[in-house]
């Protein structure tokens, strides 16, 4: 499997399994099945609410000898309510407990948005508004303070690499000025409708690897009644993507994933069907032509589906 060498020397698989919205009832079986067919990177988060089930699938595979722990690359993310330095390690320990693992391979700050702490005993995962009402409550925690606590996890040997998610270039630039450990990975929404070319170019120039989420564009957001997702054609049915897929004798999904990996970006698709799992994993055996890339480049419309502005007019991407 292709890997990406991170700036701290660790190797990250370029194709992984994304755990967002994986149903808890089937999650353990899906993770186990994904490991059986060859997946080694699993991208989870506190906010997904299924880390116990992800851990169950991982540990079943470990116990049956299908894979060794050092062959896996397990990821989680620090939720917004745990940005205060005194809560970072507490949150991380909860993740380890849920996964039933001794360490993580990568831990990301999920969003550069600090919310009021919610004790796990009251609500876990905390969500956006905690337990009081439907209002978001913020905490004045600078990103660098949170990052210092993330760095401490590395120094304690609890996590191999640390990174960030949903950060803008200006925020990353500011973080780099104070970071003692450079972020290894930036995870961003990235698909033909939101290509973020300048951000990708700049971040890669800084030696930070990029992981794309929502590689299939509106597909993941239709069931969430996202108005933006409902306003555009699905990428699986888009005439340009379908045409490119036919030319290479591949599926539209494989074309969308290869479009990212061909430019050095990691991807984390998911599926509950074994055939599609295998297809998504085997995407680096063909090369998109310059004409293919040019056709896909024309689809960019800056259309973002995951935007904190929709939560509470948070100006992250304004």
Residue ranges of E strands in the chain: 3-5, 11-13, 17-18, 41-43, 73-78, 104-109, 159-165, 185-189, 209-213, 266-267
Do 147 and 179 touch, CB atoms closer than 8 A? yes
Q: Is 191 annotated as a binding residue?
A: no
Written as six digits, the tokens of 206 are: 């800084």
* Nearest partner of 166 among 189, 185, 145, judged by Cα: 189
- DSSP state letter for 193: T
Calculate helix-pair angle for 274-281, 24-37, nearest 10 degrees: 50
- DSSP state letter for 109: E
Residue 262: CB partners within 8 Å, gap ≥ 6? 287, 288, 293
Angle at 116 between CA 135 and CA 181, to 5 degrees: 135
C-alpha 38/C-alpha 40 separation (Å) is 6
DSSP conformation letters of 25-76? HHHHHHHHHHHHHT--EEE--GGGS-HHHHHHHHHHHHHTTSS-GGG-EEEE
C-alpha 256/C-alpha 237 separation (Å) is 12
Residues annotated as catalytic (active site), given as ranges: 48
Written as six digits, the tokens of 308 are: 């904190």
CA distances from 57 to 25, 93, 226, 249 (A): 12, 19, 30, 33
Which residues sit in the known binding site? 110
Known binding residues for substrate: 110
């Amino acid at each position: 499997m292709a890997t990406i060498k991170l700036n701290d020397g660790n190797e990250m698989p370029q194709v992984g399994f994304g755990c967002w919205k994986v149903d808890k009832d089937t999650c353990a079986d899906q993770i186990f099945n994904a490991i059986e067919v060859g997946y080694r990177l699993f991208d989870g988060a506190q906010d997904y609410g299924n880390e116990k089930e992800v851990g169950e699938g991982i540990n079943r595979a470990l116990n049956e000898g299908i894979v060794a722990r050092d062959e896996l690359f397990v990821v989680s993310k620090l939720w917004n309510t745990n940005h205060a330095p005194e809560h970072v390690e507490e949150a991380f320990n909860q993740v380890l407990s849920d996964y039933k693992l001794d360490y993580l391979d990568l831990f990301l700050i999920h969003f550069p948005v600090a919310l009021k702490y919610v004790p796990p005993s009251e609500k876990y995962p905390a969500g956006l508004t905690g337990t009081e009402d439907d209002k978001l409550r913020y905490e004045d925690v600078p990103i660098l303070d949170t990052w210092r606590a993330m760095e401490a996890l590395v120094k304690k040997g609890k996590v191999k690499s640390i990174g960030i998610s949903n950060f803008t270039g200006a925020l990353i630039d500011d973080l780099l000025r104070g970071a003692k450990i450079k972020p290894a990975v930036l995870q961003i929404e990235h698909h033909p409708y939101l290509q973020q070319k300048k951000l990708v170019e700049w971040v890669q120039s800084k030696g930070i690897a990029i992981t794309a989420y929502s590689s299939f564009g509106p597909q993941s957001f239709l069931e969430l009644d996202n108005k933006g997702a409902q306003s555009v054609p699905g990428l699986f049915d888009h005439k340009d993507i379908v045409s490119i897929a036919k030319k290479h004798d591949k599926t539209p999904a494989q074309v969308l994933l290869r479009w990212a990996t061909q430019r050095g970006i990691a991807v984390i698709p998911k599926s509950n069907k074994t055939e599609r799992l295998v297809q998504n994993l085997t995407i680096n055996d063909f090369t998109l032509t310059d004409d293919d890339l040019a056709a896909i480049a024309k689809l960019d419309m800056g259309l973002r589906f995951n935007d904190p502005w929709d939560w509470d007019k948070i100006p992250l991407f304004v």
